[in-house]
Amino acid sequence: MKSLKAIILFLLFFNQFLTTMNAQTDSFPAAYKKFKAVYNRELKQAGIVGSSFVFLKDNKILAEDLYGMANLEKNQKVDENTIYHWASNTKPFTGIAIMQLRDRGLLKLDDPAVKYLPELKAVHNSFGDMNDITIRQLINHSAGFRNPTFPYKNNKDWQPFEPQDFSQIVAILPFTEILFKPGSKYSYSNLGIVFLGQIIERITLDDYEVYIDKNILKPLEMYQSYFDATPYHLLKYRSHSYYIENGRRTTGRFDANSGITVSNSGLNSPLPDMIKYLNFLIGDASKKEIYDGILKRSSLEEMF
């Protein structure tokens, strides 16, 4: 999919950018000019419709670039207010929420996941007891669960984007197996993050989206960020979705409801909001009181 290609391209470009910067620490303009030339060329070659780029250092924007279209049908250009779907960048928000609950004494990272989700006892585990699988293993992708949340889709138009209710996940838990000894290695798992989202909801009695909004988005003043369907007043800023199929650009689903996978991939946000989030991750002494009120630095570094 184009979104994945865009991420891979970005990482390649960014690595080149940093390599150039390290070699020419006194020549940021020259390094950025070289980076931007490669960035624009490769976006065009890959068929990327629209893109935004920002480079931060010491909580300040050193460079930013807006490329292409947010919506081809509406002839809508990408601008600083363009809202993107951030997909699996949602996962660290889930991690922050879990660390908040840990710091408040509402859970321990080494608690068995089944303490909060007894339904997991139905999973087939040939490596031991399901009580051995911990929240820590879910959060660092070492619990042994599969990658896809719902492995039975075959791309029919009538099929939901993702399972909409946790009951659908529960129904297939007896047909779910642990794929390796928990804690023995790492393997990316969307399903494991779904379980963390459910733990957050059961402890706080808030919907996942409500909890994240109250405890992360609003304190960071990310007021244009939201989950799943776009609020009416922000629709004009929402980017569309495109991918390449059989060599041709194809329109993807717009404003899809991520359903039960919201804790994996439900976030939508414009770049100015994400810069506020990035500055929180980086840290800023002038905002220490605000940032520590969300999650103290030592816990954030522990999460990393």
pLDDT in tens, 104-128: 999 999 999 999 999 999 999 999 9
Sign of CA dihedral 91, 84, 213, 167: negative
Give per-residue pLDDT as tens, 126-178: 999 999 999 999 999 999 999 998 887 777 777 777 788 999 999 999 999 99
Angle, in degrees to the nearest 10, between helices 190-204 and 91-103: 40
User: Which two tokens mark 109?
Assistant: 């990272």
pLDDT at 4 over 90: no
Any idea where the domains of the chain sit in the sequence?
1-80, 88-277
Place of tokens 């939901």: 160
Distance, in Å, from the CA atom of 245 to the CA atom of 170, rounded to the nearest integer, reads 33
Place of tokens 């710091």: 103
Which of the 8 DSSP states describes residue 165? S
pLDDT of residue 26: 62
Which of the 8 DSSP states describes residue 199? H
Distance, in Å, from the CA atom of 271 to the CA atom of 200, rounded to the nearest integer, reads 26
At the top level of CATH, the class of 88-277 is: alpha beta
pLDDT of residue 254: 82
Distance, in Å, from the CA atom of 274 to the CA atom of 66, rounded to the nearest integer, reads 15
Distance, in Å, from the CA atom of 286 to the CA atom of 304, rounded to the nearest integer, reads 22
Query: What average pLDDT does this structure show over 226-230?
Result: 94
Place of tokens 């070659």: 45
